[in-house]
Structure 1
């Protein structure tokens, strides 16, 4: 029974880790897009 509980715990930890990586990656992409938009606006103002 303890082995089953350990397996379930490992699977849950793996899924949560994947979700956390996905959230961090999406936040990083949003930040990159925002920086790119600011860079384009700045470049158009300078030109």
Structure 2
């Protein structure tokens, strides 16, 4: 009976580690997506500001 409990505990820990790895991977993907979105927005705003600045100097 002790062996069954031990193997069950190992299996549970293995599944928990796998779930944590998947969650960490998905969280990393979400964070990278958010950072990319912010960087794209900043780049577009800078592009518009640069275009306005260039037209006022022309």
TM-score (norm 1): 0.99
Aligned residues: 47
Gaps of 5+ in 1: none
4+ long deviations beyond 3 Å: none
Backbone CA RMSD of aligned residues: 0.2
TM-score (norm 2): 0.80
Structure with max Cα Rg: 2
Gaps of 5+ in 2: 1-11
